[in-house]
Amino acid sequence: MGQVPGMPAEFAGAFGFIGAPVEQVAHELFAWHDELGFRPRRSDSRTGLDEAAPLLLPLTSTPYSRNLLVGTRSPKWTAYFDANPRGGDPRGGRHRS
């Protein structure tokens, strides 16, 4: 992935794809973080990655500080980013059972 405008180079270092629609992923990620006691807040946006990525600034390594889910051209896939300056851990958003 290339550089995202307005974002540090580290931002594009790691990201993941989740095989589910963005609305489903958002719902499950929110519920999971709530169960873990992180007191999540959700803000939905209909913009693309270039416009939404700066919402993660400043980047921080605090666990689960901020996540960004972006719908892809395929409604069956969601791109997952977080605010970790080292590129994050996209495996953290695994499917809950």
94, 18 Cβ separation under 8 angstroms: no
User: Omega into 40 within 30° of 0, i.e. cis?
Assistant: no
pTM across the whole model: 0.79
User: How large is the average pLDDT for residues 2-7?
Assistant: 77
Q: How far apart are CA 49 and CA 21, in angstroms?
A: 16
The distance of Cα 8 from the centroid of its chain, to the nearest Å, equals 16
Q: CB atoms < 10 A from the CB of 27, how many?
A: 13
Q: How far apart are CA 49 and CA 68, in angstroms?
A: 9
Q: Where are the domains of the chain?
A: 14-93
DSSP annotation of 73: S
Taking all residues of the chain, what is their mean pLDDT, rounded to a whole number? 81
pLDDT at residue 87, as a whole number = 60
